[in-house]
């Protein structure tokens, strides 16, 4: 497959870029460093905890927790995640590492199938009793590129959350 064919296929799987994300040891320190470089503002940190399917962490659903904030001002927004050594957002002491790039998609399950067809493996998604993906999912290539997909219908709620409003996506109530 040529580079242009590969690029066309990728653009047909993934939609609009939502954000880029970094795993960090210290939210405040990382946010301050990014703002010093590019300006902007930082949102208040939010603690998150959920039961997830994460094949790299466990064959069974596992509970993960972390804190996140957003650095706003540049486009796309920058999401910062802080987690302990057992979380998907673990980071070396004093460190900051690229975690993922997130895209909105029209159909989560179709995007998942197409990413898997391109050699990406499911990395993490919220656990739920139903079939398919609930809310969002991370996929990872053999080379280590991590991509997050989220449904385009969540965009208005996510934009409101970035403006400081409560997060109000329909699937959030199903997280455990």
The Cα-based distances of 46 to 37, 57, 69, 70 in angstroms read 23, 23, 6, 10
DSSP string covering 79-123, please? EEEE--TTSTT---TT-EEEEEEEEEES-HHHHHHHHHHTT-EEE
- 65-80 pLDDT per residue, tens: 999 999 999 789 999 9
**Residue 88 burial (C-beta neighbours within 10 Å; 0-12, 13-18, 19+):** buried
Q: Is residue 114 part of a domain?
A: yes
Rounded (10°) angle between helices 108-117 and 3-13: 160
**CATH number (domain holding residue 30):** 3.10.180.10
Q: Is residue 23 part of a domain?
A: yes
Q: Is residue 30 part of a domain?
A: yes
Q: Is residue 127 part of a domain?
A: yes
Domain count, the chain: 1
Q: Contact 22/76 with Cβ under 8 angstroms?
A: no
Q: Is residue 175 part of a domain?
A: no
pLDDT band at 132 (very low <50, low <70, confident <90, very high): confident
Q: What is the pTM of this model?
A: 0.88
Q: Is residue 176 part of a domain?
A: no
pLDDT band at 9 (very low <50, low <70, confident <90, very high): very low
Residue 171 has pLDDT above 90, yes or no: no
Q: Is residue 76 part of a domain?
A: yes
For residue 41, the enclosing domain spans 3-169
């Amino acid at each position: 497959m040529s580079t242009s064919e590969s690029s066309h296929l990728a653009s047909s799987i993934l939609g609009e870029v939502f954000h880029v994300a970094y795993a960090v040891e210290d939210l405040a320190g990382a946010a301050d460093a990014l703002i010093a470089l590019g300006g902007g503002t930082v949102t208040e940190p939010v603690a998150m905890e959920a039961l997830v399917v994460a094949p790299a962490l466990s064959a069974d659903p596992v509970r993960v927790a972390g804190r996140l904030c957003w650095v706003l001002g540049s486009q796309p927004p920058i999401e910062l995640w802080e987690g302990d050594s057992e979380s998907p957002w673990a980071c070396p002491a004093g460190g900051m590492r690229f975690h993922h790039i997130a895209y909105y998609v029209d159909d989560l399950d179709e995007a998942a199938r197409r990413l898997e067809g391109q050699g990406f493996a499911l990395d993490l998604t919220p656990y739920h009793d139903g079939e398919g993906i609930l809310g969002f999912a991370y996929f990872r290539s053999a080379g280590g590129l991590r991509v997050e997909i989220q449904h385009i219908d969540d965009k208005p709620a996510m934009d409101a959350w970035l403006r400081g409003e409560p997060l109000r996506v329909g699937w959030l109530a199903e997280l455990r």
